[in-house]
Amino acid sequence: MALSYNSQRIILMKSTAKETGVQGRIVNLASTAHRRSDGKGFDLNKLNNESKYNAFSAYSHSKLANILHANELSRRFQEEGCDLTANSLHPGIIGTNIVRYITTNSVLASIFSLVKPFVKDIPQGAATTCYVALHPDTKRVSGKYFAGCNEATPTSVARDAELAKRLWAFSEELVENRSK
């Protein structure tokens, strides 16, 4: 079986951390939107079911998956004793150029004008990512979820170690089947 691109990168990160003594950090971008995924709709057997597709649910499930992935990756790193960490975070609602597509719809444009004062600019939105990736206070911190440059508590579903393991196995199976 050929290694996936991500597997190759993790192997490289492990060897680099070992050779240089510099800790490697993986940061998964998640979202507070993971809270809309209660785990019931996150059925691995029906993950690609187009008949039940809903964009908002899919987004929430994907952000839950990002947290679960970081947690399982962290567990594996700790088990191996390698000098890598994996965490996830919510960057906040950021005013990027994607808004130009939203404002073509008058209803969404009205909603956006109401929330605009609470939207972060790009440097503010990058702050938590930079904090988790670079700050000395997060050295050796792994398997955690952050928001607003602080450790935060994700939902119980996002902390479900068994679900994280099942998602990992499911992902490996998908990648293996795609490479055949």
Taking Cα atoms as reference points, which of 26, 92, 64 lies closest to residue 155? 64
Q: Give 79's Cβ-side CA count (13 Å radius).
A: 6
Number of neighbours of residue 17 by Cβ within 10 angstroms: 18
Helix H or strand E segment including 107: helix 106-115
Q: Among this protein's residues, is 53 annotated catalytic?
A: yes
**Per 3-state DSSP, what percentage of the chain is helix, strand, and coil (rounded to 5)?**
60, 10, 30
Q: What DSSP state is assigned to residue 84? A: E
Taking Cα atoms as reference points, which of 145, 5, 151, 25 lies closest to residue 82? 25
> Of residues 5, 53, 59, 145, which has the active-site annotation?
53
Q: Is 118:125 a contact under the CB 8 Å cutoff?
A: no
Q: Give 68's Cβ-side CA count (13 Å radius).
A: 28
Please identify every residue annotated as catalytic: 53
